[in-house]
Amino acid sequence: MAINWYPGHMHKAQKQIREILPTVDIIIEVLDARLPYSSENPLIAEIRGDKPVIKVLNKADLADPLVTEQWLAYFANQTSTNTLAITTKDINACKQIPALVREMIPNKGHMATKPINTMIAGIPNVGKSTLINILAERQIARTGNEPAVTKAQQRINLRDGVVLYDTPGILWPKISNPNSGYRLAMSGAIKDTAIEYEDVALYACEYLLKEYPETVIARYQLDHLPATDIELLEAIGAKRGAKQSGGRINLHKASEVLLHELRSATVGRITIEKPAYIADEEAAVAAEVQRKAELKAARLEKANRGRRDAKQAKKKR
């Protein structure tokens, strides 16, 4: 799935992150608990080096708790990484984060002369700004349900030996894994104007049929489980009155209904990716990159051969 949404402020934010990172002691990366892998920004992994990181799985109240446990175990095996599943509705859970920061950076903060410089980052619409306001105990960051609300960097003193450097929520120019593109669109991390509703809804239907069939039957009061993604979307449309002239199902309206209910967890607590998917998906991405590289090399070779042949033909004349 191609994502064509990369505002100019995101390019600026990437530069800001690279500039402040040398002064940062630890990174707090806020992820969406429903898609922890797809909501990781590869830029953070690329520039982080060996800096400690806390992976905060936000919106855990919307995610499948059994799968969240799998993700916590997955991240626990990564070096210099700690992890925490929270919801910003639970303020006490959110306030565990500064203590975790001090635990991972024991030589700074509190009674030390220097504070712990902490960079907090996350993709759009992951709840980062709400979390900052909770940690600061005052309204500092703008919040909203639309992606890309925060557009400027901020420095926030938490007054407990921890200083937060806030960064705008950023995506990355090219999402190589098509599954991640669909999942980000399903979660609302990408503006709806940049996606094809029906395409994303059909992907969601295919996933729900595979992983949450009983949940789908219960939520939409279906007599039986549809066999295909399009049949499920039509069944949802029929149940929600998404019909047009002639009694046909309005697939766009049905898609809007499904995506809205997925994002709000009205369908149920659903996680839209699992750790078991990662190896196969990364292998598929690597194979596609290799295929494109080979095609490019073949085109260059063909072009060079054509130029050589043209030069030889010119010499013969």
Kindly report the pTM of this predicted structure.
0.84
Three state DSSP letters for 80-135: CEEEEECCCCCHHHHCCHHHHHHHHCCCCCCCCCCCEEEEEEECCCCCHHHHHHHH
Q: What share of the chain is helix, strand, coil (3-state, %, to 5)?
A: 50, 10, 40
Work out the percent of the chain whose per-residue pLDDT is above 90: 53
- pLDDT > 70? residue 8: no
Instruction: Provide mean pLDDT across the span 247-269.
Output: 94
Instruction: Provide mean pLDDT across the span 39-46.
Output: 83
Out of 23-27, 213-217, 280-284, 311-315, which region has the weakest mean confidence (pLDDT)? 311-315
Where residue 70 falls among pLDDT bands split at 50, 70, 90?
Answer: very high
Instruction: Provide mean pLDDT across the span 183-191.
Output: 88
Closest CA to 167 of 19, 3, 34: 19
d(CA 265, CA 267): 5
- pLDDT > 90? residue 4: no
Helical (H) or strand (E) element with 157? strand 154-157
Domain 10-166 classification at class level: alpha beta
- pLDDT > 80? residue 98: yes
| Domain positions in the chain | 10-166, 196-263, 275-311
**pLDDT for residue 96:** 92
Return the CA Rg of the chain. Answer: 23
Instruction: Provide mean pLDDT across the span 274-280.
Output: 94
Closest CA to 41 of 55, 25, 59, 52: 55
**pLDDT for residue 125:** 84
- pLDDT > 60? residue 144: no
At 312, phi and psi to the nearest 5? -65, -40
Where residue 259 falls among pLDDT bands split at 50, 70, 90?
Answer: very high
Work out the percent of the chain whose per-residue pLDDT is above 70: 86
Instruction: Provide mean pLDDT across the span 50-68.
Output: 96
Where residue 264 falls among pLDDT bands split at 50, 70, 90?
Answer: very high
Closest CA to 62 of 275, 274, 271, 273: 271
Instruction: Provide mean pLDDT across the span 251-271.
Output: 95
Instruction: Provide mean pLDDT across the span 114-122.
Output: 89
For β-strands 26-32 and 116-122, DSSP reports them as parallel
- pLDDT > 50? residue 146: no
d(CA 249, CA 241): 8
Cβ-count burial 200-226 (b if 16+ within 10 Å, e if not): bbbbbbbbbbebbeeebeebbebeeeb
The winner for highest mean pLDDT among 49-58, 111-120, 193-202, 294-303 is 49-58
Express each pLDDT in 208-246 by its tens digit.
999 999 999 999 999 999 999 999 999 999 999 998 888
Return the structure tokens found at 17: 């992150």
**pLDDT for residue 238:** 94
Domain 196-263 classification at class level: mainly alpha
- pLDDT > 50? residue 2: no
Domains 10-166 and 196-263 equal at CATH topology level: no
Express each pLDDT in 281-305 by its tens digit.
889 888 888 888 888 888 888 878 7
